[in-house]
């Protein structure tokens, strides 16, 4: 009897022990909705370590991304929503989304290519932003789930869409690897010369989406230079050293440490909303950035073949938006968008973003996750 009570007591202790927090997923069946003659759907990717990403074909948006902390507790680390209706009606249209045909800004919604002037929407007045009013974030992509860890999305952006020339065939593949990487690969071809600059716009908070601001996250960006902007956030054309400025993240610094700097570039962006010129790797992909969240121990690293990365610190988040039952704070997330430089079609001194017939566009961004013990 005594042994029986001892065993029972031990079982009670084990049952009362804290169990790791596990991912809570959105039901794929309830996420379906008809929009623009196509069906919005949800797809779930899982790796062998328990990481989960749920991605919709509406804008290729990552609606949640579950990663473990140093204690093995999972949290959803991207801002977003749990229903299609919320995505269709939100004022924050870029949560977790694919961006195209041109990520970032084009000055005054205009560029000249092969002696033809093209006029685009000035949806971020006075400039064009992220592909226009109906950018790639606002369309329903054709989707094919390749396997449990891979999703393929395709879209034909027709000649003249949002003012851009050429029929652009785009393919994007998301892969959730067993190395805890969320890999995004982009391919595109065109039948007419056109600017192309595709990126991914997830809003990250490594404490968990909706858990306060990200000012204590420690950021490192592997860049000796950045591209200063004017008061409308268009690059001046200068490639400027980060040394001695609030833009020097070559050694790890808390995001919030220099937000109150009186540097004119910080005033223009209301904080960080700038492009860094990445140090080029001798071989392979550029190691672009590393972010550490001290409390959870979560780490995020960024690798890319792109020459630049946009670090956005959530300066335009209102602090009122609600998603997944939580309120997203002012500066409640950061974005690290791998890219060519803003306004490159109007800046011949910048790396070219022009894709010509017979060429294939290819870009890759890897977000790799881990923990500091």
Task: Tell me the pLDDT tens digit for each residue of 174-221.
Answer: 999 999 999 999 999 999 999 999 999 999 999 999 999 999 999 999
Say what the pLDDT of residue 286 is.
Answer: 98
In DSSP notation, 44-80 reads EEE-TTS-EEEEESBTT-EEEEEEE-TTS-EEE-B--
Say what the pLDDT of residue 160 is: 98
Residue 342 has pLDDT above 50, yes or no: yes
Report the pLDDT averaged over residues 110-134.
97
pLDDT of residue 373: 72
pLDDT at 14: 46
The model's pLDDT over 245-258, given as tens digits with 9 standing for 90+, comes to 999 999 999 999 99
Distance between CA atoms of 87 and 19, rounded to whole angstroms?
Answer: 33
Summarised one tens digit per residue, pLDDT across range 288-338 is: 999 999 999 999 999 999 999 999 999 999 999 999 999 999 999 999 999
Provide the whole-model pTM: 0.94
pLDDT for the residue 7: 56
Q: What is the pLDDT of residues 147-170, one digit of tens each?
A: 999 999 999 999 999 999 999 999
Q: Which of 221, 214, 217 has the alpha carbon at shortest distance from 248?
A: 221
pLDDT of residue 9: 53
Q: Is the pLDDT assigned to residue 8 strictly greater than 80?
A: no
Q: Given a cut of 70, is residue 369 above it in pLDDT? A: yes
Strand bridging mode 361-371 / 199-201? unpaired
Which burial class, exposed, middle or buried, applies to 334 when counting CB atoms under 10 A from its CB (0-12, 13-18, 19+)?
buried
**Reduced to 3 DSSP states, what percent helix, strand and coil does the chain have, rounded to the nearest 5?**
15, 40, 50
CA dist 264 to 97, 233, 259, 271, 304, Å?
A: 30, 12, 12, 10, 29
Are 82 and 26 in contact by the 8 Å Cβ rule? The answer is yes
* Domain ranges across the chain: 28-371
Identify the sign of the CA torsion 303, 95, 131, 143: positive
Residues in the chain: 373
Output the pLDDT for position 13: 47
Exposure letters 246-283 (e unless 16+ CB within 10 A, then b): bbbbeeeeebbebbeeeeebbebbebbbbbbbbeeeee
Q: What is the pLDDT of residue 18?
A: 73
pLDDT digits (tens, 9 = 90+) for 11-40: 454 445 578 999 999 999 999 999 999 999
Taking Cα atoms as reference points, which of 44, 55, 138 lies closest to residue 89? 138
- Cα separation, 227 vs 212, whole angstroms: 29
Q: Give the residue numbers annotated as catalytic, written as ranges.
A: 201, 337
Could you report the per-residue pLDDT of 64-92, keeping only the tens digit for each? 999 999 999 999 999 999 999 999 999 99
Q: Which CATH class is domain 28-371?
A: mainly beta
Is residue 10 over pLDDT 80?
no
């Amino acid at each position: 009897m005594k042994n029986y009570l001892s065993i029972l007591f031990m079982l009670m202790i084990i049952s009362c022990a804290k169990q790791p927090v596990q991912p809570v997923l959105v039901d794929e069946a309830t996420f379906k909705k008809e929009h623009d003659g196509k069906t919005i759907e949800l797809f779930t990717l899982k790796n062998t370590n328990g990481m989960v990403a749920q991605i919709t074909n509406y804008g290729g948006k990552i609606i949640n991304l579950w990663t473990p902390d140093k204690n093995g507790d999972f949290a959803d680390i991207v801002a977003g929503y749990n229903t299609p209706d919320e995505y269709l009606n939100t004022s924050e249209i870029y949560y977790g989304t694919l961006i195209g045909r041109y990520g970032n800004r084009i000055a005054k919604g205009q560029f000249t290519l092969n002696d033809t002037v093209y006029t685009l929407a000035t949806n971020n007045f006075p400039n064009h932003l992220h592909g226009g009013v109906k950018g790639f974030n606002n369309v329903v992509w054709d989707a094919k789930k390749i396997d449990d860890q891979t999703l393929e999305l395709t879209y034909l952006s027709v000649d003249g869409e949002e003012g851009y020339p050429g029929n652009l065939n785009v393919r994007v593949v998301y892969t959730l690897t067993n190395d805890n990487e969320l890999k995004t690969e982009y391919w595109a071809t065109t039948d007419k010369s056109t600017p192309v600059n595709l990126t991914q716009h997830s809003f990250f908070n490594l404490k968990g989406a909706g858990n306060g601001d990200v000012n204590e996250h420690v950021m490192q960006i592997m860049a000796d230079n950045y591209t200063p902007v004017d008061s409308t956030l268009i690059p001046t054309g200068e490639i400027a050293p980060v040394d001695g400025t609030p833009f020097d993240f070559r050694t790890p610094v808390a995001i919030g440490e220099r937000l109150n700097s009186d540097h004119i570039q910080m005033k223009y962006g209301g904080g960080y909303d700038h492009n860094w010129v990445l140090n080029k790797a001798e071989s392979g992909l550029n190691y672009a950035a590393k972010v550490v969240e001290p409390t959870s121990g979560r780490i995020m690293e960024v690798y890319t073949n792109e020459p630049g990365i946009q670090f956005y610190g959530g300066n335009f988040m209102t602090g009122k938006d609600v998603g997944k039952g939580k309120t997203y704070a002012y500066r409640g997330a950061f974005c690290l968008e791998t890219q060519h430089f803003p306004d490159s079609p109007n800046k011949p001194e910048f790396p070219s973003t022009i894709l010509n017939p017979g060429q294939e566009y290819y870009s890759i961004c890897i977000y790799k996750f881990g923990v500091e013990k």
